[in-house]
Amino acid sequence: MKRFLISICIILGVSISSTTYAQTFTMGKKCRALFDEANALLNEEAYAEALAKLDEFSGNCKTKDAKELGAVSKAEAYNNLGHYEKAISEADNALKITKDKSLAAYFQKGIALQNLGDVEGSKQALSNVIKLTEMNQNTGERANNYALMARIYGRQLNEEDSAMWYLDKAIALDPQQSDFLIQKGDLYLYYDQYEDAYAAYDQALANGHDRLVVYQSRTQVGLKKMENKYGTNKTQELRKQMTEEEKNMLCADIQKALDLGWRDMSMDMFSAMICQ
């Protein structure tokens, strides 16, 4: 059934709204931080933990945008847990909040319905996505739509080629949007393409993206690369096996992030054991 959904989207060139891109929503620092934590858990496929964090987010963040964001994100988590009825309920909640204008909610509903075997219902949800997308002539919003489409293909449907295709369309529409380049680096990292991830993050830095975010991201690339290469995430074992060149590269990124204000006790300890 998943293949049906993917085929329909590719054939019709569907793009999705920027619902899950929190930077486009009206939120205070506390709410943004809570959502970032929930989103990180979704990225880590820790869906039960993400739902708990999203409950905290929804309990504290009451703007219309936050309500939609919370509902759509919960729908995503429920879809990945196989709780399709709950996913539909959250998607419907987002549609009620937005007066049937949340494209991401329609897409999550479509995923749930096709997994429940409701082909016609899934087609109807997608037809609403297509209708709303075609009505949107704003280039920036369409770019965000493609970026969200890339995120869904990469994170939920595990379709790397489709994810990258949609993300490249987003970048072509809005090449100065460094968030898309960070997303591209994250996508490369997810698929263990480390050098491409470094290149995307460096391009984001050249485009003026937050330096702290870039060096935190580069650190994650270095850590995952070393852990996969040496088959361990234990600091002592990495210390013994990593080459001096590998240590110097990883430690340079960690130190730049720490100098820019990164507060992470585990990174402080890692740096003390590996880098000194």
Distances (CA, A) of 203 to 176, 198, 207, 208, 209: 10, 9, 6, 9, 9
250-272 average pLDDT score: 90
160 versus 142: which is more confidently predicted?
160
Q: For the segment 223-252, what is each residue's pLDDT rounded down to a tens digit?
A: 999 999 999 999 999 999 999 999 999 999
18-44 average pLDDT score: 74
Note whether 225 and 194 are within 8 A (CB).
Answer: yes
The band of 6, judged by pLDDT with boundaries at 50, 70 and 90, is very low
Q: For 61-75, 129-143, 160-174, 183-197, which range has the lowest pLDDT when averaged over its residues?
A: 129-143
Distances (CA, A) of 111 to 1, 70, 106, 151: 9, 17, 9, 14
Q: Would the CA dihedral through 240, 241, 245, 247 be positive or negative?
A: negative
| Per-residue pLDDT at 87 | 97
| Per-residue pLDDT at 7 | 39
260-267 average pLDDT score: 88
Q: For 35-39, 147-151, 219-223, which range has the lowest pLDDT when averaged over its residues?
A: 147-151
| Per-residue pLDDT at 3 | 37
The dotted CATH code for 1-139 is 1.25.40.10
| Per-residue pLDDT at 137 | 80
| Per-residue pLDDT at 26 | 62
- Angle ∠(263,265,271) on CA atoms, nearest 5: 95
| Per-residue pLDDT at 254 | 93
133-142 average pLDDT score: 78
| Per-residue pLDDT at 223 | 94
pLDDT > 80? residue 96: yes
Note whether 220 and 189 are within 8 A (CB).
Answer: yes
Mean of all residue pLDDT scores within the chain: 86
The band of 159, judged by pLDDT with boundaries at 50, 70 and 90, is confident
CA-to-CA distance for 50 and 37, rounded, in angstroms? 8
| Per-residue pLDDT at 145 | 78
Note whether 49 and 40 are within 8 A (CB).
Answer: no
The most confident of the ranges 36-45, 137-146, 221-230 is: 221-230
pLDDT > 90? residue 29: no
Q: For the segment 203-215, what is each residue's pLDDT rounded down to a tens digit?
A: 999 999 999 999 9
pLDDT > 50? residue 70: yes
pTM across the whole model: 0.67
131-145 average pLDDT score: 79
pLDDT > 70? residue 36: yes
